[in-house]
Chain A
Amino acid sequence: MDELPKRAPEAAEGIKAETTTSAPIRHLQFKVALLLALTLVLSVAFVAYVLYARGVFENEQKLVLVTESSDGVNVGMPVTFRGFSIGRVRSIELGNDATVRIEIAVPKKDARWLRVSNVFIIERTLVGSVTIRAATVQLDNPPLPDGAVCTSQAGSSGAKCTVLRGDATEDIPHLVTNLKDLLHNLQNMTAADSSLGASLANVRTVTERMTGRYGALSAALGGDENAQKVTASIDRANKLLDSLGGVAARLDQTLAKADQRVFGKDGAMDETQKAIQQFNAVLGDVRDSLKKADAVLADAQKIGANARAATDDLATLRSEVEASLRKVSALINEINRKWPFARDTELKLP
């Protein structure tokens, strides 16, 4: 051990070495006590703050939300109202009736937001965690009592507050099921024995026939034999058309001759034209005669009109004659009264 220097006091005094055996330190106990006190104070303050933050010192009101699932709900998660935390989940338990009871502690100062007819929404977003929020708070409603139970059916427990669940991920299984159905259908459609496959096979047969000797005709008629018959028919029709062509040529000649006879010089048409001209002249005479008859008729009409006027005058005349006769009769009656020669007063009218 001789090679190891026991101590180097002149060096050690100058160096604040990291050893516990160096020179005495002034106010050592005091400084250390100060550090320990600081540590203790900070620890106690921290614990007290955490207890305060966890609501240990606050008077709390309990609220129970009854729902179907506790998915994503954790003990300690906040219940918000308008984005402000008004309470925390204290405990979650599975009830005897297989419903989930979420117990929420709300500090007394925030309990004023708990009203009858409150709706609590347990909401799960696609990204992020579940949130519980109080919605539709009507401040003119009476406050919820301590220990109120809210269920998904309003009024069933008498508390009249409601719990709703909104889960954006709930639709995903439904979506997946639909997608599965769709894929299944697609699979059925594309399977070897599917109707689509059969249709495609038929299309293939048809197109194969179309590439054959008789082309689309064979495809349309369902075989080469039928197509052959059709082409034979067409051939025969062609022959028929040829002979018809001969017939038409002869008919043409006949028609030319008929034309000559009918429309040629001194033909039937020529004679007819002449007859028509004569007929026209006759018709002109008839028209003149008719014009004369028309004038006669006009005169007759005029005579008729005059006769009517005359009959009108005759009526007037007759009435006047009647009046005169009555006057004469009256005069005779008068004379007869005054001079009674005869008793016969009968008057003969014309």
Chain B
Amino acid sequence: MQIPTFHDAPARLARGLAAWAAGWWRVFHFGATALVMAASPSAYDRATSTLMARQIYFTALQILPGFLLVSALLSYTVIRIVVLGADKYGLAQYALNIAVRVQVLELIPLFVALFVALRSGAAINTEVVLMHIRGDLEALQRAGADPMRHELVPRVVGSAVSVVALTVIAGSMALVLAYVAMYGFSPGGMEDYADAIGAIFDLHVTLGLGLKALFFGLAVAIIPITASLEVPREVRFAPIAVLSGMVRLFLVLMLIEGASLAVKYI
């Protein structure tokens, strides 16, 4: 191995930057291609729909009961803390507003994205890097099938749909829990509740929430797959692919969250 010297430091830096830029370029390129392919109905046949369904099953359905339980506990705790805190400081009229904004708009989508990233994102990353190293994708191509269409896009679509579904279900549950935490089980707070919800969810916020969940879902599959495909085809690079995929995924999730906050509040 060549010992790095001081003289070639700029060159190494330039190479590193180029590799970093190329990596992100591949992410965007793959993402765009996957989106275009997912949007065209001809990309779906029986095999791809089955694969997509399996992806959704493993990502969303398999974990649904446990996830809902954890999410309900977290939601109720956070909402209760916010409501009690607001009450204590004489801001009871803002309690529901703050609770719903914090929980439904910010925490739940991020929580779902992280949950799915840690579980299915890592699984997809490992699976695809193994397929890549084993040469399964080339084998498919040689057999006349498009690996992108048959193996990768269904995973992307499946995890995006899963993240959106989990966000919708957990968000709805949090909305119900917010009502319960605020007014108990009596129907007396319906009008106030409707007023608060109506005031929070205008067109921008609702669309923003949907887009954020969608981007989270896409990132959870696209980034690990790209990271899997860019390593040399040797087994020892498999952990590196998973590692870089996960780090990059975390970064992207935070970027999406930050961008959404910036658009909403700045």
Contacts and interface: CB of A to CB of B under 8 A. Distances in A.
B169 A39 contact: yes
A29 interface: yes
A77 B199 contact: yes
A177 to B, nearest CB: 30
Interface string B37-64: 0000000000001110111111011101
A42 B155 contact: no
B235 A35 contact: no
Interface in A39-84: 39, 42-43, 45-47, 49-50, 52-55, 76-78, 84
Contact of A19 (B53, B123, B161, B194): B123
B201 interface: yes
A328 B192 CA distance: 138
B120 interface: yes
B195 A29 contact: no
Contacts of B148: none
Interface residues of B, dominant DSSP: helix
Contacts of A29: 49-50, 53
B206 A50 contact: yes
A338 interface: no
Interface stretch (A20-28, A148-156, A251-259): A20-28
B201 A3 contact: no
A57 to B, nearest CB: 11
B15 interface: no
Contact of A46 (B61, B120, B172, B192): B172
Nearest to A31: B61
A3 B206 CA distance: 51
A20 B134 contact: no
B61 A53 contact: no
Interface residues of A, number: 36
Contacts of B235: 3-4
B195 A78 contact: yes
Given A28-B50, A39-B165, 6 more contacts: A25-B57, A28-B57, A32-B61, A39-B168, A47-B206, A49-B194
27 contacts: A1-B134, A3-B235, A4-B133, A4-B235, A6-B134, A18-B58, A20-B55, A21-B127, A25-B54, A28-B54, A32-B56, A35-B60, A35-B165, A36-B56, A38-B165, A38-B169, A42-B169, A45-B172, A46-B172, A50-B197, A50-B201, A53-B198, A53-B201, A77-B199, A84-B191, A85-B191, A88-B198
Closest 3 CB pairs of A and B: A53-B198, A18-B123, A53-B194
Interface of B: 49-51, 53-58, 60-62, 64, 91, 119-120, 123, 127, 130, 133-135, 155, 158, 161, 164-165, 168-169, 171-172, 175, 191-192, 194-195, 197-199, 201-202, 206, 235
